[in-house]
Chain A
Amino acid sequence: MPPETSTAGRGRTLPDDQALLQVRGLQKIYDTDGGGIEAVRDLTFDLGRNELVCLVGPSGSGKTTLLKCIAGLLEPTSGSVTLDGRQVTGPPKKMAVVFQEYGRSLFPWLRVDGNVELPLRNAGVPKGERRRLVGEALESVGLTHAARQYPWQLSGGMQQRVAIARAIAYQPEVLLMDEPFAAVDAQTRADLEDLVREVRERLGVTVLFVTHDIDESVYLGTRVVILSSSPTVIQEDIEIDLPEARDQLETRAMPRFTELRHHVYEQIQLAKQGFRPDETRVG
């Protein structure tokens, strides 16, 4: 069994001085003509510095809603998100988001380097500094040669690399990724997964990675947070005790990888069948 299992319906929490991102009792109800729809009911968990936490859950479990609340793009109905001790009320400067729809997130009228540069230009970073950051970010995603192309001239995987480079150049402390590789092919996906691991190690950023792919979550994460079906609470929060250096072939062949994968799979099946940790706690 995983070592740090949480109390029912909540994720692992850390002391205030160790937590970088704190989510407390987050609830989001969408107002619609047919009354309120409760997408997220009650989410509590913490991200420590340099963790790579994967959020998995059945489809429609409010993963994107949660991520948007954390990113300051949506206002939660109740509860709070705190980054580095300060409550998030709008998009924080120390955060960057990589969206699933790279084609819509990159600006088609800017070339690759222009896209990576734009957030820095907006922030008033001096030109020399900008050029250096853009160059470094493009190099770290292996796209130096494509700097002068337009994003739509590139393949899907390369476009998502541009979006990642844009996030890196912004120098965030927290990188939020919303199913970033759902729309790219399997081989590109493996490369991009390793790129995310590498970026986290090299730059020391903390990553929250939303995915619906169980294998991906176990392979990438230092922790996996499993969400229940909607209205969402936390089904389980488990530590991934695999060796720090991950390898697409070796890690995936480890018995422990298979065990963890099984465990997450079972939990998601339970979630799909309507099992809810908050109800079992009551009953």
Chain B
Amino acid sequence: MRRALTAVGFALGLPVCLVVVWWFATRTSANPFVPQPVPLVTTFLDTWFGDRFASDVVPSISRFAIGAVVAVVLGVVIGLLIGLSRTLRAFTEPTFEFFRAVPPPVLIPILGLLIGVGDDMKVAVIVLGAIWPVLLNTIEGVRAVDDVQSDTSRSYGIRGMNRVRFQILPAAAPQILAGVRQSLPIAIILMVISEMFYTSAGLGFSIIQFQRQFAIPQMWSGILLLGLIGFAVSMLFTLVERRLLRWYHGLKDLENAS
């Protein structure tokens, strides 16, 4: 209990200090571009928890969620297929390095022409950017599966889909999840950027609109909301990862201790 309280104290310490410093520094400020803590909170609640919650926040988060899930599933499935085949690896890896280097935002105008300017396009942009860390990490994780482990599977007749399920996926899971961890912030960034073109709703659109209308406090509240979404996603991911990889963290703790 005491340890848990200490941990919470450490986690909240810096944010609390920053808010206090910010409050003091802006206490007497009259600059309209600089936000103040207390008004920001009220603006935040007024702006996002009214009509905009259903019209902007929910659609954005849904697109992010769909895009991230599709990117992870596709990345893992394609990564498994490629990771298990030496030929496919040699065939695809140089090409992947090229595609990976293309920044997805530059594709938005093209994708808008090709698949329209609706939700499909925005999800596609998120998938195109967020898939790479998952895909490349899955390939690497599958490739690096231990030989003795694989011999063990073979000698016990664990083959095909059963081998993927019982050996390959769990063995590659630490690396795959490391890829997912990198993918999620990319997906959030692309969620925002994809909403800055051809749109009339969404978080990215709203923030840009506030900016152009000089609605500075509202703009700041949008930035705050994005930060909070990123934080929540990261916390959620850590929770899931801790559960899935309990064995891995236990093993590492033991190795580090010895």
Residues of A with Cβ closer than 8 Å to B?
Answer: 68, 71-73, 90-91, 93, 95-97, 99, 101, 104-105, 107-110, 118-119, 121-123, 150, 152-153, 170
Contact = CB atoms under 8 A, between A and B. Distances in A.
Contacts of B162: 122
Contacts of A68: 151
B166 interface: yes
B105 to A, nearest CB: 38
Contacts of B158: 118-119, 122
B154 A73 contact: yes
A118 B171 CA distance: 15
Interface of B: 146-149, 151-152, 154-158, 162, 166-167, 170-171, 173, 247-248, 250-251, 254
Given A97-B151, A104-B146, A107-B170, A119 B156 contact: yes
A202 B30 CA distance: 89
A118 B156 contact: yes
B170 A152 contact: no
A153 B170 CA distance: 18
For the residues of B in contact with A, the DSSP-based class is helix
Contact of A119 (B146, B149, B157, B171): B157
A109 B173 contact: yes
- Closest A-B pairs by Cβ, 10 of them: A104-B148, A119-B156, A97-B155, A109-B170, A109-B247, A91-B155, A105-B152, A122-B158, A101-B148, A104-B146
Given A122-B162, A122-B166, A152 B254 contact: yes
Contacts of A121: 166
A73 to B, nearest CB: 6
A96 B250 contact: no
A105 B251 CA distance: 15
B252 to A, nearest CB: 10
A118 B146 contact: no
B152 A97 contact: yes
B156 A170 contact: yes
Contacts of B166: 107, 118, 121-122
Contacts of B171: 107, 109
29 contacts: A73-B151, A73-B155, A90-B154, A91-B156, A95-B155, A97-B151, A99-B148, A104-B146, A104-B148, A104-B149, A105-B149, A105-B151, A107-B152, A108-B248, A109-B170, A109-B247, A110-B247, A118-B158, A118-B166, A119-B156, A119-B158, A121-B166, A122-B156, A122-B157, A122-B158, A122-B162, A122-B166, A150-B247, A152-B250
Contacts of B167: 107
A99 B148 CA distance: 8
Nearest to B174: A109
Contact of B250 (A73, A91, A118, A150): A150
Given A91-B157, A122-B158, A108 B152 contact: no
B254 to A, nearest CB: 6
A153 B250 CA distance: 9
Contacts of A71: 155
B9 to A, nearest CB: 32
B250 A123 contact: no
B31 to A, nearest CB: 55
Contacts of B254: 152-153
B157 A108 contact: no
A122 B161 CA distance: 10
B247 A108 contact: yes
Contacts of B248: 108-109
A207 to B, nearest CB: 15
B151 A96 contact: no
A245 to B, nearest CB: 31
A118 B248 CA distance: 19
A95 B167 CA distance: 20
Contacts of A110: 170, 247
